[in-house]
Chain A
């Protein structure tokens, strides 16, 4: 801060031109770290939309930079350090795997604010976490999936065995079964967030197993591209609308809308009111949106899905409402009881009816 004041003071003395430069240095700098390329059409694309919204909202007052394709692990720490050194005031790290790197770098740069998406570690006062209740969207998709499947087999391309993904699998299955008691779910673990070749292979294997509705928890559009090759199968946009696959195989989508949160947090940095928080908004807060349900879905199914979306938004329905048992049959939620946020954030079990084990 001292150096900046000094610079500004010197610039004032030197005249207008230099004052301009010093002003530029006083702009708030918001930096973003992406796990995939912006062009993935999914997760990273949507975070980048958030960055663009920040730029749009603040104009010249804020400078934004980003780095794509940053691997989770040691590389992330290097990139974060670089960003902190280059004068970023707030850094958004947009993938679960950046959790430890974010906290490690935050310890060394107490003046820089760090915002980690989908994580739970806030070891330092300058680390906040934010997430979205994707499982609310999964409940709506699960309802459509249960109604639309003809083979009674739905598939789920999972990334890593972390609570967020397991919530998605459970929410999808619970709601598919609710409207179609015969439904079964096959889960394929891809062990990647973004690898189109692997995602396409996984989708293909699921289709060969007779699955005709696929939900994906990875970032690319490859599963939809694979579904497009097989008539009669459908899927959903994940993280982004993936509208180029409308009206089928993409019949609806879960859209992550990070823009309001990013604008709010950058504003807080500008105002000096930034505080450590743990944000977890869902459909009600506008962070999770349900993309247009296309004409490939019968009107009554569409109405049912939209009713569920509205009930979740209004707070009258929680996707994890008892009675629900864990996979091994032990009771989890009693009749009418809803899952606590703590339960959800630590979710490491399937609900009753799902076959297979969660990899360790």
Chain B
């Protein structure tokens, strides 16, 4: 095996790309869960974003419009979830699972006319001479805008939850909706906004797969990325920067295992293929286990429906 063939700078650059879909979806889900709602429909919302993004990008010949449509598509699907769980007070776990199944089916229906069609390419941001800096240029300055956007969103969510009044209210709703209600906050409206944000982020993540990473449409294109995003939220202990870490770890090992294969590593392919899932979860579990209070990080009202009369 020739490990020297693996260029670390290129590897880091491509792990950043590989991590984008999970990172976006997980960040969205983090906000949803911080508001006390458990939406297991991430996979369904991602794939809806993937198909809406591709369809609109192809029709309008604009990747930007595609991403906007993807966010709208994901949010639209999450609206169904919001209606069922916030207005009709349906069980969140069951509704979320149904949302995933519904999203997979609906996306397959919408996508029928788009199989095998090339979307317009998403251009890389042009940093001019910065891109030519050795190593750093490759890692940092040769990506498409969504890669930067995903990091910015993580930072924004972190700042929002930590430093702003809006973040405080959101957390209050997620920790104790009765108390928040007593203080005069509109619990359901705040949760609705969080759910829509989560849907939009999942949609963006899905569109990144169908518009940039693959780029084309096929049934089930997200291939379980939504479930990984859900797992990362839990194992990251509901902390934005750990989501970034988890996503990069997962993306990194996904990329690394293929590189190892291409470089001729003498490790059975089956082990390499399962390694991203195994190692990501292992690392995040170990990180949160040490403090003994990972469970305390979970929003106290997570998964519980709220009605003002109770």
Contact across chains for B258 and A205 when beta carbons are under 8 A apart: yes
Q: Which of B10, B218, B262 is close to A211, meaning CB atoms less than 8 Å apart?
A: B262
Q: Is A183 an interface residue (CB 8 A)?
A: no
Q: Which of A39, A186, A197 is close to B264, meaning CB atoms less than 8 Å apart?
A: A186
**Considering only CB atoms, which chain B residue lies closest to A210 in the complex?**
B5
CA of A237 to CA of B6 in the docked complex: distance in angstroms? Answer: 27
Contact across chains for A221 and B116 when beta carbons are under 8 A apart: yes
Contact across chains for B223 and A195 when beta carbons are under 8 A apart: yes
Contact across chains for A205 and B216 when beta carbons are under 8 A apart: no
Q: Is A312 an interface residue (CB 8 A)?
A: no
Q: Which of B114, B216, B254, B269 is close to A221, meaning CB atoms less than 8 Å apart?
A: B216
Contact across chains for B216 and A208 when beta carbons are under 8 A apart: no
Q: Which of A37, A204, A355, A359 is close to B270, meaning CB atoms less than 8 Å apart?
A: A359
Chain B positions 5 through 25: 1 when the CB is less than 8 Å from some CB of chain A, otherwise 0: 111001100100010000000
Q: SS class of chain A's interface: helix, strand, loop or mixed?
A: mixed
Contact across chains for A189 and B261 when beta carbons are under 8 A apart: yes
CA of A201 to CA of B11 in the docked complex: distance in angstroms? Answer: 12
Contact across chains for B262 and A205 when beta carbons are under 8 A apart: yes
Closest chain B CB from A83 CB (angstroms): 21
Q: For window 214-229 of chain A, which residues contact chain B by CB distance below 8 Å?
A: 220-222, 225, 229
| Chain A residues with CB below 8 A from B11, complex form | 208
**Considering only CB atoms, which chain B residue lies closest to A224 in the complex?**
B118
Q: Is B255 an interface residue (CB 8 A)?
A: yes
Contact across chains for A209 and B118 when beta carbons are under 8 A apart: no
Contact across chains for B254 and A208 when beta carbons are under 8 A apart: no
| Chain A residues with CB below 8 A from B118, complex form | 225, 244
**Considering only CB atoms, which chain B residue lies closest to A202 in the complex?**
B258
Q: For window 251-305 of chain B, which residues contact chain A by CB distance below 8 Å?
A: 254-255, 258-259, 261-264, 266, 268-270, 273
Q: Is B219 an interface residue (CB 8 A)?
A: yes
CA of A198 to CA of B121 in the docked complex: distance in angstroms? Answer: 19
Q: Which of B214, B255, B258, B264 is close to A222, meaning CB atoms less than 8 Å apart?
A: B214
Closest chain A CB from B37 CB (angstroms): 29
Q: Which of A155, A186, A189, A208 is close to B269, meaning CB atoms less than 8 Å apart?
A: A189
**Considering only CB atoms, which chain B residue lies closest to A192 in the complex?**
B223
Q: Is A142 an interface residue (CB 8 A)?
A: no
**Considering only CB atoms, which chain A residue lies closest to B273 in the complex?**
A191
Contact across chains for B223 and A208 when beta carbons are under 8 A apart: no
CA of A142 to CA of B253 in the docked complex: distance in angstroms? Answer: 31
| Chain B residues with CB below 8 A from A356, complex form | 264, 266
Most chain B CB inside 10 Å of its own CB: which residue of A188, A206, A209, A355? A209
Q: Is B307 an interface residue (CB 8 A)?
A: no
Q: Is A127 an interface residue (CB 8 A)?
A: no
Q: Which of B7, B216, B258 is close to A188, meaning CB atoms less than 8 Å apart?
A: B258
| Chain B residues with CB below 8 A from A40, complex form | 115-116, 218
Q: Is B221 an interface residue (CB 8 A)?
A: yes
Most chain B CB inside 10 Å of its own CB: which residue of A38, A188, A197, A204? A197
Given A40-B218, A198-B223, A204-B258; 6 other pairs, CB 8 A cutoff: A188-B261, A196-B221, A201-B255, A201-B258, A204-B255, A205-B259
Seen from chain B, the residues whose Cβ lies within 8 Å of a Cβ on chain A are: 5-7, 10-11, 14, 18, 114-118, 121, 209, 213-216, 218-219, 221, 223, 254-255, 258-259, 261-264, 266, 268-270, 273
CB<8 Å pairs between A and B, sample of 19: A37-B115, A39-B117, A155-B262, A188-B261, A191-B273, A196-B216, A197-B214, A197-B223, A204-B258, A205-B262, A208-B6, A208-B7, A208-B14, A208-B259, A210-B5, A211-B262, A220-B218, A225-B216, A359-B270
